[in-house]
Chains A and B, each alone.
Chain A
Amino acid sequence: MYETNYHRAGSVADAAALLAKADDGKLLSGGQTLLPTMKQRLAAPSDLVDVTKIAELKGICEDGNAISIGAATTHAEVAASDLVKQKIPGLAKLAGGIGDPAVRHMGTIGGSIANNDPAADYPSALVALNATVTTNKRTLSAEDFFTGMFETALDDDEIVTSVSFPAAAKSAYAKYPNPASRYAMAGVFVAQQADGSVRVAVTGAGQDGVFRVPEMESALASNFAPDAVAGISVSADNLLSDIHGSSAYRANLVTVMAKRAVEAAS
């Protein structure tokens, strides 16, 4: 790791100020992706601003018909939350399947979505559940937030503060992990709203990160059953391809995981 300067922020405003002062500062949340990247000298921020001790960024609360999760809330906390388990079981399950237990004790929802790794789990939940991302500057819809592989709409000095998930009538996530890294090779989040409308979002497979599958959504809106998506496949053209799985294989996994997510949600 290159030398860096560590700062512990006491508030969001404090964090923003520290970030503004830094040459090439980065927010440090759980650090479960950033620190390994820095250890391999693939990232060299001049300053790290630790936001995990900021009380206002932590915690899970009910907000009308939605659940609001502070950016510095860990995956383990989301997975263990009775509120999340009751209102959006698919989200709790997803959080409980990120990384491993030790990673889930540190990794946070804010850090995960700000990094927007194409193989991360959370982006699929945000998009399928039509979540809203709140920052220190504005609120954005999930679809506006994720702009491409490792790319988000965040400005350099913008800090995610919370994510609000509207409760879903039914939700589930099914992922096929990369055998080595255990990141998603294809992860599909399926959410049905009270009005019967359905969103299907895919992570792990797309070259540009998370994407929706409109054909599956309309099929499921009229018939929320595994068979409804079993025959729908996504084009392999824009999917990732690597030593672990070709784009054609990933396309197959998208269909199979969609089917299994619907089955789990039903």
Chain B
Amino acid sequence: MAHVSMVLNGKRVSGTVEDRTLLVAFIRENQGLTGTHVGCDTSQCGACVIHVDGKAVKACTMLAAQADGTEVVTLEGLAKGGTLHPVQAAFREHHGLQCGFCTPGMIMAAVDMIERHGAGNLDEATIRHELEGNICRCTGYQNIVKAIKAASDEMAGLQQAAE
């Protein structure tokens, strides 16, 4: 058994799990945060994307034990003080979700994408390419791409206003 301790959405949590326990199972079953989903077995669909130490990773392709000592953020931890993250707000505004199942991974991947490229620096083709590891069956991606672009541009505006 592995004793696992991490900061999850700003709170220190710990638990004892089998060594084979995946990080996604620790988050969903041990910690009861069911916003992170599992949609495939081959690390391709991206429904489980979360941030570990500030980087997007697939929680289904990491052991909970590997995440010991890390800082983890899931979709539940994205909104601050009841205010939606601009990416969350943009997904709603642009109808970037239908059944909602891929949405957690999409939003977490989008936040990471915007951070890596810099707000305001994403174009349509880049976003599509960056979504290679996130599969959606409902939306045909068009509104997801629009939402990410809009959020990226809005975040650039917010940064500018703050400067």
Binding site for B on A (CB under 8 A): 1-6, 8, 28, 31-32, 35-36, 38-40, 48, 50, 52, 76, 99-103, 105-106, 181-182
Contact = CB atoms under 8 A, between A and B. Distances in A.
Interface stretch (B6-14, B40-48, B89-97, B154-162): B40-48
B44 to A, nearest CB: 8
A36 B65 contact: no
Contact of B66 (A31, A39, A103): A31
B43 A32 contact: yes
A106 B130 CA distance: 16
Chain A interface mostly: mixed
Contacts of B124: none
Contact count band on B = 20 to 34
A3 B18 contact: yes
B63 A31 contact: yes
Identify which of B62, B63, B116, B134 gathers the most chain A CB atoms within 10 Å of its CB. Answer: B63
B2 A106 contact: no
A2 to B, nearest CB: 7
Nearest to B131: A100
7 contacts: A6-B66, A31-B63, A32-B43, A35-B63, A101-B109, A103-B43, A106-B58
B133 A106 contact: no
Given A100-B133, A103-B133, A182-B132, A2 B20 contact: yes
B53 to A, nearest CB: 9
Contacts of B2: 6
A101 B20 contact: no
B49 interface: yes
A100 B132 contact: yes
Contacts of A2: 20
10 closest Cβ pairs, A-B complex: A100-B133, A6-B19, A6-B65, A100-B132, A105-B55, A1-B20, A102-B56, A102-B58, A36-B43, A35-B61
A76 B41 CA distance: 23
B12 to A, nearest CB: 19
B133 A99 contact: yes
B113 interface: yes
A76 B115 CA distance: 14
Nearest to A99: B133
B20 A102 contact: no
Nearest to A80: B116
Given A35-B63, A40-B41, A101 B56 contact: yes
B22 to A, nearest CB: 8
A251 B66 CA distance: 41
Interface in B85-138: 109, 112-113, 116, 130, 132-134
A3 B58 CA distance: 20
B57 interface: yes
B19 A3 contact: yes
Contacts of B22: 1, 35, 39
Contact of A102 (B41, B66, B68, B133): B133
Given A8-B68, A48-B19, A100-B130, 10 more contacts: A3-B19, A101-B109, A101-B112, A101-B116, A101-B133, A102-B112, A103-B58, A103-B61, A103-B133, A182-B132
Contact of B61 (A3, A4, A36, A181): A36
